[in-house]
Structure 1
Amino acid sequence: MAITQRCSLRRTVLAAALLLSLGGVAQADSRSEAALEARIAQLEQQLAELKSAVEAQKKATAAAPAAAPATAGPAAAGVKLPIQTTTLTPGANPGTTVKIGGFIKTDFMLTRTDSGQFADSATARDLYLPSQTPVGGRGSSTDYDAGAKFSRLGIGIDTVTENNDKLGAFVEWDFFGGSLGNENSTNTYGLTVRHAYAYWNKWLAGQTWSTFMDTAALPEAVDFIGPTDGVIFVRQPQIRYTTGNFQISLEDPQTTIIPRGGGAAASSDRGAVPDLAARYTWKGSWGHFGVAGLLRDLRVDRPAAGTTPAIKDSQFGGAISVGGKWNLGESNDIRYQLTGGSISRYIGLGVTSDSVLDSANDLEAIDGWAGYLAWRHVFTKQLRSNLMYARSEYDNPVAYTGTGVTKNSQSFRLNFIYSPLPKLDVGVEYMVGRREIESGAKGDIDRLQFMAKYSF
């Protein structure tokens, strides 16, 4: 009996101990879980604080001026250091790009005329200008000229916005301006604006090539222009709209006028109607072909001066031009243009004038045609050649213009251009030209020209 009671007491004590032990384990598990939750909360708080510190650091970096680039040593292999750390155009739209380009070109020319000589300051001593070729004179003349005034510098600004709007601007200069020095010592010349325009999407406003002109069809020449007798060559202020292959523009009007009986031409910028030019171009792997039209209001409006009566009249003028480039394999192409109508101011820097005053001091339009054909052949990646012929003819009312005005002009030229290094061109060109006036007198010009040109 006593033994049984003792065994029962032991079982009771063991059960109580087991219950106490299990209770302790449960209490320990509860404390561990609470500690873990507290630790997680602490880590979350630290992560939030770290995130706030990183955001503050980003804002501070964006607001602070950019640090000067390090100069401690060269970049690691394959790593290209930036040219600069801040934008060139801080006032421009975000994402604006800047392009600077141009070339340095030096020309060396030996020119012979058979019917007189050029004046010392003649523009024709710097480039081929058909209207200045001497005619009817006696004796030949040979002149050597050199200069770097046709070098150019251009800056382009381009932006594409988040809405895919395209806008930008371009300005370009050369040094073919009025002389600021002389050939005795400095050979200094003035900076001249060639292009200055802005564009946004399909619109352009400013000074650039006329829409009537096809720059993509111009042959490569050592001379400033090349087939001058027959090429449209005008830069002027305009507003232009382009959609696909079609362009239309309103351009600055100007009328060149020969006085009754002949003599030096004058210019008139009177009138309220701009020149209207339009062009459509087809393009493909074969090259391109374009058709262009021009409408003009030729106008004179001069007040009376002394015994000279007032002159006021206008005359409608129109012209059409076709031309382009035809690819003949990888090594050859043909470039061409044919233009007819009231074209005088637009051709070859003004081979002759747009109009003449008749016996009643009214304007009489002078029509004509002009064109050129050029063949380009690539011998190697470094050597290429261009052969070209250009001509223009004018229907002068001789009763009013007299017989001293240009009836026609033409020229042949052949060049070879070699590029020993990328962007470096050296070239030689031989040109022979002839100008004839209404009296039948003629004058020939021969020119041998060399150039060295580095583009950037």
Structure 2
Amino acid sequence: MTQYNKFKQASVFAASALALAVASASHAVDFEVGDTKASVYGYAKLDIIYDVDADLGNAISHNNATTGKKIVLDGEPSQDGHFNMHAYQSRIGFQTTTPVSGSDLVTRIEGDFYGSGGGSFRLRHAYGSWGGILAGQTWTNFYGFVAGTPTIDFTGPPGVANQARQPQLRYTAGNFSASIEDPDTLGGSEKAQNDVVQTDSDTAKSELPDVTARYTDTSGPFKYSASAVLRQLEFDAEADPNATVDDDSAFGWGIALEAAMDVSEAITLRAGVTHGDGLGGYMNVSPQTSPAYVADNGDLETLESTGGTLGASIKAGPGAINASYNVATVDLDDEEIDGDDTFETAYLNYIWSPAERISYGIETSWASRETKGGDDGDAVRIQGMVMYSF
């Protein structure tokens, strides 16, 4: 990284320390129908964005990972300075709770407007749970919701387990949960996470579901989570008449460790690490969303990835100051493919609630990407939000 970029990064974060920018949870409108308790909830949110450098789109991590690497590499031409506003994160949900045979039957349906990168309504959650069995679409069981430091940027920190939602069948007993999950939907990419880099056509296939297990617990001020995922990756050359390689398959795996500590009533520290081989989109904002590729010799080669996060929240006035550093890497050194191998972000924000159901926030973020060949680039964003919950 050039001395100018280092100076720019330091200067922006020094200035943003003076900014005031912790989102309150959605409230709900509750009512009862017979013995069923129902809630309608959601919020309207406006994001106000200024990109100091290249236009990063609606969300930094989301656009860098899926729409053409918006962070411009050093030495490449770029148009600096872009203003943007949108309300795509606004969402609405409906939840019911009904006592059935000694256990609560819970259903939930929720959507927002981040479909197709922003502007189209999409399904976020659609599931039911009863007696410890959950069926439908919701957060992947691989993520423990412990290490993530709040951000205004929609996609959140890279390097942790992905906060994506996908179809699954899950069983929970106390602090332990296990699931089988759809192998083709995580992260919402067009060709999904079984998108191996391969021959002339999409010959990836899924024969088995992804399997996850997670344990989450709390001990005094300390909370932790440990999770694992096992996947089968496969391509079938018979689907491509021009293929010159045979079929092959491999297993992918990943682990995620998360921890948070309430140091005092005002200070919370968080950390997390994710690692795996063939992990693909199960790591949030991976530089390579594909878990594997077909090598010249026809073998399906899995990609090793590692990521991590460090963050802190400090209560201040009616809200909290949040800061985090995050990194996601994919080891391409001995691989036959090129592309990005490192993605980093740092966030500093203040999010506060002047009144119930109302949240304001302001955030400064820095993001960078580096290619296998050592080329890199970075960008700075200033973002504000106004959110009204119901």
Q: TM-score range by the shorter chain?
A: 0.7 to 0.9
Distance 1:139 1:272, change over 3 A: closer
Match of 1:127 in 2: 59
Q: Distance in 2 between matches of 1:442 and 1:337?
A: 25
Trace 1:12-411 onto structure 2 (pairs within 5 A): 88=33, 94-113=34-53, 117-118=54-55, 124-129=56-61, 130-131=64-65, 132=69, 133-136=71-74, 137-161=76-100, 163-178=101-116, 189-254=119-184, 255-259=194-198, 270-309=205-244, 312-342=247-277, 343-352=279-288, 353-380=290-317, 382-396=318-332, 398-402=334-338, 405-411=339-345
Q: Distance in 2 between matches of 1:203 and 1:269?
A: 30
Distance 1:290 1:330, change over 3 A: same
Match of 2:3 in 1: none
Contact 1:410–1:435 (8 Å) recurs in 2: yes
Please list the CA deviations of residues 383-416 of structure 1 after superposition, one character each: whole Å capped at 9, or x if unmatched. Answer: 31101000112111555103xx112111111001
The TM-score with structure 1 as length reference comes to 0.71
Instruction: Kindly state the Cα deviation for residue 216 of structure 1 after the two structures are TM-superposed.
Output: 4.0
Please list the CA deviations of residues 165-208 of structure 1 after superposition, one character each: whole Å capped at 9, or x if unmatched. Answer: 221211110011248xxxxxxxx932100011111111001111
Could you say which structure has the higher strand fraction? Answer: 2
Q: Distance in 2 between matches of 1:243 and 1:267?
A: 39
- Extract unaligned runs of 5+ from structure 2: 1-29, 185-193
Q: Distance in 2 between matches of 1:156 and 1:258?
A: 40
Distance 1:304 1:258, change over 3 A: closer
Q: RMSD over aligned Cα, in angstroms?
A: 2.4
Instruction: Kindly state the Cα deviation for residue 252 of structure 1 after the two structures are TM-superposed.
Output: 0.8
- State percent identity of aligned pairs: 27
Match of 2:6 in 1: none
Distance 1:334 1:194, change over 3 A: same
Instruction: Kindly state the Cα deviation for residue 290 of structure 1 after the two structures are TM-superposed.
Output: 1.0
SS at match of 1:214: coil
Instruction: Kindly state the Cα deviation for residue 348 of structure 1 after the two structures are TM-superposed.
Output: 2.4
Contact 1:433–1:445 (8 Å) recurs in 2: yes
Contact 1:366–1:397 (8 Å) recurs in 2: no
SS at match of 2:236: strand
**Structure number with higher relative contact order (C-alpha < 8 Å, ≥ 6 residues apart):** 2
SS at match of 2:43: strand
SS at match of 1:429: strand
Q: Distance in 2 between matches of 1:307 and 1:393?
A: 33
Contact 2:340–2:369 (8 Å) recurs in 1: yes
SS at match of 1:303: helix
Please list the CA deviations of residues 229-256 of structure 1 after superposition, one character each: whole Å capped at 9, or x if unmatched. Answer: 4442321111000001100000111313
Q: Distance in 2 between matches of 1:209 and 1:318?
A: 18
Moved more, 294-303 or 439-448: 294-303
Q: Distance in 1 between matches of 2:360 and 2:322?
A: 14
Contact 2:148–2:160 (8 Å) recurs in 1: no
SS at match of 1:278: strand
The one-letter code of the counterpart of 2:51 is T
Distance 1:438 1:424, change over 3 A: same
Please list the CA deviations of residues 56-110 of structure 1 after superposition, one character each: whole Å capped at 9, or x if unmatched. Answer: xxxxxxxxxxxxxxxxxxxxxxxxxxx98xx65xxxxx51110111111110111
Instruction: Kindly state the Cα deviation for residue 302 of structure 1 after the two structures are TM-superposed.
Output: 4.1
SS at match of 1:339: strand
Distance 1:276 1:386, change over 3 A: same
Instruction: Kindly state the Cα deviation for residue 355 of structure 1 after the two structures are TM-superposed.
Output: 1.0
Contact 1:398–1:438 (8 Å) recurs in 2: no
Match of 2:366 in 1: 432
- Extract unaligned runs of 5+ from structure 1: 1-82, 89-93, 119-123, 180-187
The one-letter code of the counterpart of 2:197 is I
Instruction: Kindly state the Cα deviation for residue 142 of structure 1 after the two structures are TM-superposed.
Output: 2.2
Could you say which structure has the higher helix fraction? Answer: 1
Q: Distance in 2 between matches of 1:202 and 1:151?
A: 30
Match of 1:63 in 2: none
Q: Distance in 1 between matches of 2:155 and 2:125?
A: 16
The TM-score with structure 2 as length reference comes to 0.82
Distance 1:153 1:268, change over 3 A: farther
Q: Distance in 2 between matches of 1:392 and 1:267?
A: 26
The one-letter code of the counterpart of 2:273 is L
SS at match of 2:195: strand
